Structure 1
Amino acid sequence: MSVIEAFFTALKSGDPDRVLPMIAEDAIIVGVRGKADPRLPIYGTYRGREGMRAFLGELRKAFDTEAFEVDEMLESEALGFASGRFRHRVRHTGRLFVSTWALRAKLADGKIAHYLFFEDTAALEAAFGVSTAEEAA
């Protein structure tokens, strides 16, 4: 089983302890955007296995996941990609967040060393009822 496939299998279990062995001790985890924003708790850069645990905790606090599908996976020794689609309900607004997604993971020694997740940030912000557009200008 590839690293990316094993990662998503462990992720679907809902147990972060099954995910952490696939994360390098000094990994960098970018939750959609590298800069943290207290209004969007999944934004930010997390470090190492405990960073991944914190990131997954933010996801669980923010969303009720109604669907999460992995459609494609590709992997070489140094790089992994995956893509799919999901539907989350934002817990504090009750709004749906529906998006396609992609993951780019740099791999080292059979572990994820750099995790970067892409999704529709405009849809995320709308579901949370916030906008960062003014800050980007």
Structure 2
Amino acid sequence: MAGFFASLDEHLETLRFEVDHIVVEGDQGVVLGVIEDRVRRTGRSFLSRFALHLTVDQGEFTRYHFFEDAAAAHAAAVAR
């Protein structure tokens, strides 16, 4: 995961990241919010609601599922 997060900064500039809700039950967590990123290569940004589902075991993430508007991200990333 460290490599994945390090590479995100090469490609995206986060303009907005707002958390609306956090729900935790045992080792499971869900985070809901809004994210806006700019694709560095194209200069275009996209806004998306997101849901993040996490599982933590002994202080380490064992699941990280991030759900966002993939169509909006794709539209911002493709060259016109």
With normalisation by structure 1, the TM-score equals 0.54
Q: Secondary structure at the match of 1:56?
A: helix
Q: Distance in 2 between matches of 1:108 and 1:53?
A: 17
Unaligned runs of 5+ in 2: none
Distance apart, 1:90 and its partner CA: 0.5
Residue 75 of structure 2 corresponds to residue 126 of structure 1: yes
The RMSD of aligned alpha carbons is: 1.3
1:92 counterpart = 2:41: yes
Larger helix share, 1 or 2: 1
User: For residues 92 and 129 of structure 1, what CA distance do their matches in structure 2 show?
Assistant: 9
Structure 2 counterpart SS, 1:93? coil
1:34-45 equivalences in 2 (<5 Å): none
Q: Percent identity?
A: 38
| Count of residue pairs the alignment pairs up | 79
Higher strand share goes to which structure? 2
Runs (4+) off by over 4 Å: none
SS in structure 1 at match of 2:62: strand
